Each structure stands twice: as C-alpha cells, then as structure tokens.
Amino acid sequence: MKNASSIGGVREISQHGPKADIEVQNVSKRFGSDADGLLALSNINLCVPTGAFATIIGQSGCGKTTLLRMIAGLEPPTYGVVKVGGQVVQGTSWERGMVFQEPRLFPWFTVARNVRLGMPDRGHNQEAVTGLLRLVGLEDFGTAFPRELSGGMAQRVALARALAGSPRVLLLDEPLGALDAVTRMRMQQELLKIWQDRQLTIVAVTHDLDEAILLSTQIVVLSERPGRIKKVIPVDLPYPRNRLTGEFNVFRQELMGMLL
Amino acid sequence: MWWLSANRGFGTGILPGPDDLATTINRLVSSGELTGHVRISLWRIAYGFGIAAGTAVPLGIMVASLPGFGQLLLPALEFLRQIPPVAWIPVFILTLGIGEATKLAVIVYAAFFPIFMNTILGVDQIDSHYWEVAQLLQFSRWESLRELILPAATPSLITGLRLGMSNSWRALVAAEMLAAFSGLGYMIMSARSLVRMDEVFVGIAVIGLLGSLFDWGWRAIEKRLLYWRGT
C-alpha cells in the first residue's frame, strides 16, 4: 500500500507527464438573467495540482455540483475562467471524465456497450472493454442490461465508462451517495487504487466528511449560497487512512466546526 | 342471440345471421372477390403508411431538435390535426383526380400527424441527463441519433406508428367508399347499393379484423424492441 511519500511520488511523475492542473479563476455563476438570477457561486479561486485528489464539501445548494459541472465543461461560468492543463475549458473533452450522482447508463444497451461508448474509438478493442469491466469487478456482467444491476454495480459501470475515455481528470459528483455503507467503503478503496494506478487528478463532490478526509489530498470547503471558498484544507495523512486515529479526528473536528 | 335477432327479431330480412355470413364469406372468398379487395386495400395502406412514416419520423426528429422551428410550426400543425382526413377528399379529387393518388393522399394525411406528433414528443421527453452523457462522450450527430434519440424515443415512436396506422386504415375505408372502384370500402358501398347486407357485414368484419391485426402486430414489435425494459 502507498504512503504519504509515494503520493508525493505520484505528483513528481505527473510533472513529467501531461499537465492536468485545474485552475478556477474568479469564477462566478448566476442562473437566470441579470440581477434577478440566482447567484450560485461567487468569485471562486481554486487550484488543484496535477495528481491531486480534491474533494468539495459544503451544505446542499451551495454550488458544489455547479462548480464541478463547470470544470467538466457542461456549463459555462458567468464570470471568470476555468483552465485545465493551461487550456481554457470550453465544452466537454476526453481529458475530463465525469461520474454523476446517478449512473446515467443507457438502459437500452448492455453493460459492455455502455462502456464501449465511453471510448473515443467506441471500443473496437474488445479486450480493453473487458479490462475495464474487470477493473470494476464486473467482467461477468458485460451482457447484462442496466436494469439488472444493483445501484453499486451500475455506478461501477459508470466509473468504467468514464475511465474508458482515458481522462487525466476525473470528476465525481457524489457518485457513492446512494450506496449502502459497506459497498461505499469498498468503492472508496477502489477509487483510491484507480486514482493512484492511473495517476489521475480527481475532483469529487461529497457531503460525507469522513469520505473527504479518507480520500483527498485537499478539501475545499464552500460556504452557503452563494458559494464562496471558505477554506482549502490540505490533508497530509498517509494512505491508507484510518478513520479511528486521533489525526483523522482532528480533521473531522475542524470540518465540523466549519460546517455547523 | 345474434341468430335469433336476425331471423326472428326486428332486423329479419335486413340484418344477416351468422349462418348467412358464413355462406357469404365462403362465396366471396371462392370467387376471389373478397381477397382481391383486401389485397388492394392492404397495398394502399402499405404504400401510404410507408410514405407517411418515412417523412413524419425524420421530420419529427428534425423539428424536435430545433426548438425554435417547432414553436413556429406548432399552431399550423394543431390546425391541420383537427381536420379529419375524409374532409380533404373533395380537394384531393379536384387536384389529384379519382385515381390512386387521392386514396394515397388520404392515407398519408391520416397517418402523418400521429406519427409526427409522437416523434416530437418522444424526442422532447429524452432526459437531459442523457444529453449530458452524450456531450461528455463526444457523440457526433449520427451517434446521438443512433445511440440516444432513436432508442430513447422508441416507445413513443411505436405509439405514433400504431395510432397512425389505425387512423389511416379507418380513413382509407372512408376514402374507398367515396372515391374508388376497388378495396374494402368500395365493396361495402357497392353491396349497399345492391342491398346485399350480408356482404356489407362481411366487409365490416374484415375491416375490424385487419385493424386489430395491425394493432397486435405493433404491440408485438414494441415488445420485441423494448426488451431492455424488462417485464
């Protein structure tokens, strides 16, 4: 298993590889027209370095998801710019994969076909599809239809589909939110492994404080609407992290103090 | 009961009983008259329905994917939709003559609107969640059509095709009664003028039977295409 210094190692390697720094500069987002519109995010400045695992937490309705969607390119900021790897984000791209709160699989296609559609060449390489299904532990479910899957399985297919595009940045919008506690813990471990193996830069929205401390290298705390950055907390604990340690509790208390 | 009312009741001598119908069917089939009319009506419906489906589905998808365009077209469509196809027959006869073109025009007209409307509805109702996935997966227009629009709109498309077919089937019979020298509608009309009520009823029964058959066919296709929904 990895420790803190090998996470540093991930960053070091990544500096030689393609840059995937995420820079959010003076970003505000207003829904609706002019002053009557709803201000969802106000003047966000944030930097997530290549290879980092950032989580965004904050009360519901504070614009966490909106921030993530702007990084994905699904929504333009009203003011400011979002850059990934130095390039201004304009629309979606293969370099950024996303998993939503819901699996959003196409119900009319099999699991394998759903994953194939996640590949730029639509999965001419059958082995790559099988490999991705194996990665998420579903190699026997390629011919199943989404309705035949449990929530956790469907979310794993969604993860495989997002990874199929070989993204450098993976955006996760509470993908584990709907799962039971055990499945959730298992998927947290899988996620960490995938992050480390594939040297991804991850930004995840969560409302679970423990999950944020368990997974991330930095925690971004947003204020209530309109969302502003309250604080960015670096988490320098070694992986794998243990929820039962005193250090873990220090972070937990700091976060609870900020959110309550 | 049917037999009793036909032979002893108020309709004696006018309404045929089941035994009369059986002999009539036998006679009409063996002379080839019935099968000939059925064949012509079926050919017309296949032709006209094919044209209607072939234009209404692509047009519906186009209109649904251009939001401004749909809004522009909607009042006109609503107006046209309210007019029963048969009302156009005098216009069609004047412009197209009393040949096949008139019957085809009626069928196309009758089938077009249910298919067109349901196509637009089906595409409109696609969850925006899926469109976001299509964006993330960099779908081309063609891929959006094949992987998302068509499968997602299939339930609605089939409803439209089913309604369109039953609509045009009914309209066809009416058109054949008014402007034709062949087909099931014509068969009923000519039997009426000869006061052959038995033949009229055979015509009516066959029309109902074939209509139900189409409906059953569409339901079978629907079940086949929507296997991914489960039961």
pLDDT, residue A86, reads 87
Distance of CA A2 to the CA centre of its chain: 20
Q: Give the mean pLDDT of B91-104.
A: 85
Q: Give the mean pLDDT of B204-225.
A: 93
pLDDT over threshold 90, residue A203: yes
Which residues of chain B lie closer than 8 angstroms to A165, CB-CB?
Answer: 136-137
Phi and psi for B120 in degrees, rounded to 5?
-60, -45
β-bridge mates for residue A170, sequence order: A97, A202
Predicted confidence (pLDDT) per residue in A116-135, tens digit: 999 999 978 888 899 999 98
Residues 6+ apart with CB under 8 A from A12: none
B132/A104 touch (CB, cutoff 8 Å), yes or no:
yes
Q: Which of B130, B138, B154 sits opposite A92 (nearest CB)?
A: B138
Beta pairing class for A38-48 and A22-31: antiparallel
pLDDT, residue A12, reads 43
Of A250, A230, A257, A190, nearest in space to A64 by CA: A230
Flag whether residue B146 sits within 8 Å of chain A, measured between CB atoms. no
Q: Give the mean pLDDT of B10-32.
A: 72
Query: What is the C-alpha separation between A104 and A116, in angstroms, rounded?
Result: 15
Do the Cβ atoms of B207 and B226 come closer than 8 Å?
no
* Optimal mutation site among B137, B156, B227, interface A, most CBs of chain A within 10 A: B137
Nearest-CA residue of chain A relative to B132?
A74
Distance of residue A160 Cα from the nearest chain B Cα, in angstroms:
13
pLDDT, residue A7, reads 44
A34's tokens = 């002019």
Predicted confidence (pLDDT) per residue in B110-119, tens digit: 999 999 999 9
- For chain A, the structural domain boundaries read 4-50+59-92+211-259
Most confident of A166-180, B25-39, B184-198: A166-180
| Percent of the residues in chain B that have a pLDDT greater than 70, as a whole number | 92
β-bridge mates for residue A169, sequence order: A96, A201
The Cβ of residue B101 has, within 10 Å, a number of other Cβ atoms equal to: 13
Do the Cβ atoms of A136 and A162 come closer than 8 Å?
no
Flag whether residue A97 sits within 8 Å of chain B, measured between CB atoms. yes
Which residues of chain A lie closer than 8 angstroms to B158, CB-CB?
Answer: none
Do the Cβ atoms of A29 and A75 come closer than 8 Å?
yes
pLDDT over threshold 80, residue B25: no
Angle between helices B100-124 and B150-178 (to 10 degrees): 150
Query: What is the C-alpha separation between B88 and B178, in angstroms, rounded?
Result: 12
Flag whether residue A189 sits within 8 Å of chain B, measured between CB atoms. no
What is the predicted ipTM? 0.88
Flag whether residue A257 sits within 8 Å of chain B, measured between CB atoms. no
Query: What is the C-alpha separation between A178 and A66, in angstroms, rounded?
Result: 19
Predicted confidence (pLDDT) per residue in B154-198, tens digit: 999 999 999 999 999 999 888 888 877 888 888 888 888 887 788
Percent of chain B as helix, strand, coil, to the nearest 5: 85, 0, 15
Of A204, A173, A208, nearest in space to A101 by CA: A173
- Ordered structural domains, chain B, with CATH: 19-223 (1.10.3720.10)
